[in-house]
A = this chain, B = another copy of it.
Amino acid sequence: MATIRDVAKLADVSVSTVSLALSNPARVSQKTLERIRQAIAAVGFVADPLAQSLARGRSRMIGFVVGNVGNPFFGDIRRELENYALDHQHFVVVTDSSGKTDRERAMVEHLIGLKTAGLALAPSGYDQDYIDFIAGLNVPIVCFDQKVAGIERDFVGSDNYLAGAMLTEHLLQLGHRRIAIITGPSHMRTATERYRGFAETMANAGVEVNPNFVVDGQFTRTAGYEAAMRLLIQPERPSAILGANNTVALSALQAMQELGFRCPEDISLAMIDNVQWSSVITPRITMVVQDTLALGGIIARRLMHRITNPQGAVEPPQDFVLTPKFVPGNSCRRI
């Protein structure tokens, strides 16, 4: 590997001049610049990013930290961020915490150690320790998906209250009254907001919610399946189930299929968030989806803005909340 000193020797200038020519060509004379250019080409010089980062105290990498890269929601956002970052000479490295807070924290620490220019973070933690940790980081950070109380950073996400309310209203319009909901973990803002959208819409319509119809699916497959089973074995079954995310909703569909319930003839189903291949799942589930491309675009621009603009770093944090979209399927019948 050729180093900057090889270039300097060949071009017969000092090392610092080569460095200057690379970072600020205008400050070097035409003649010298040309000699340096030729020397660089001759020895095949490429600056070592590690050495650059060490000296500068900052790299051109952006850390993307999520709980599950396999989730198409995060995948779309990653793609948007990456495209934008590449256009601005930045490079995205992805880390996956598998939803574990301690692992996420270790990964963020590692990324900070790598002197990443900025972080796009879908936080999974929520305790004070974690919040203090994030607050203490001196790097541009844009949080997304989960709004965590106490983290004073830019946030990009969807209106989860509205998402819950939209589907609930839809089911009410179709004549449903015995509507059940499979919720997510109560420490997650997305889960509580979606539930609040459901509960308040029901209350506003004057429909009482059967306490047995609110079950916790933890946003996971196993808990969602179990929660659905609990709903389905009740003597007075719900006429419609609202899954607070894609995982619990599809777990419910699976449970229904296994017990021989037809959807939507026997029980209607609606869910929040899309899933890959939803178009070939029978029935096509009625859902409310987030605009992942728009979310990704905002995250990307906001983060790059903070990274590249000197004064961008000190701007006060801002929330960007997008309206989700209703996508009708044929999983909800009129009764």
Contacts and interface: CB of A to CB of B under 8 A. Distances in A.
A51 interface: yes
A95 interface: yes
Nearest to A276: B276
Contacts of A250: 277, 280
A275 interface: yes
Contact of A51 (B54, B70, B110): B54
Given A72-B70, A254-B279, A94 B91 contact: no
Interface string A274-305: 01110111100000000000000000000000
Contact of A257 (B70, B86, B280): B280
A82 interface: yes
Contact of A50 (B71, B115, B257): B115
B91 A110 contact: yes
Contacts of A266: none
A110 B276 contact: no
A287 to B, nearest CB: 14
Contact of A114 (B46, B49, B95, B253): B49
Copies of this chain, complex-wide, total 2
Contacts of A281: 277, 280-282
Interface in A87-114: 91-96, 98, 103, 107, 110, 113-114
A270 to B, nearest CB: 15
Contacts of A32: none
Contacts of A82: 96, 98
Contacts of A254: 279-280
Contact of A113 (B50, B96, B110): B50
A69 interface: yes
Interface in A115-132: 115
Contacts of A79: 96, 98
A241 to B, nearest CB: 14
Nearest to A283: B282
Contacts of A53: 50
Contacts of A110: 49, 91
Nearest to A284: B257
A309 to B, nearest CB: 24
Nearest to A111: B93
A253 B276 contact: no
A75 interface: yes
Interface string A166-180: 000000000000000
Interface of A: 46, 48-51, 53-54, 68-72, 74-75, 78-79, 82, 86, 91-96, 98, 103, 107, 110, 113-115, 250, 253-254, 257, 275-277, 279-282
12 contacts: A46-B113, A48-B54, A48-B113, A49-B110, A50-B114, A70-B71, A70-B276, A82-B98, A93-B95, A94-B94, A275-B277, A276-B277
Given A86-B103, A91-B107, A94-B94, 9 more contacts: A49-B110, A49-B113, A50-B113, A69-B70, A69-B78, A254-B280, A275-B276, A277-B281, A281-B282
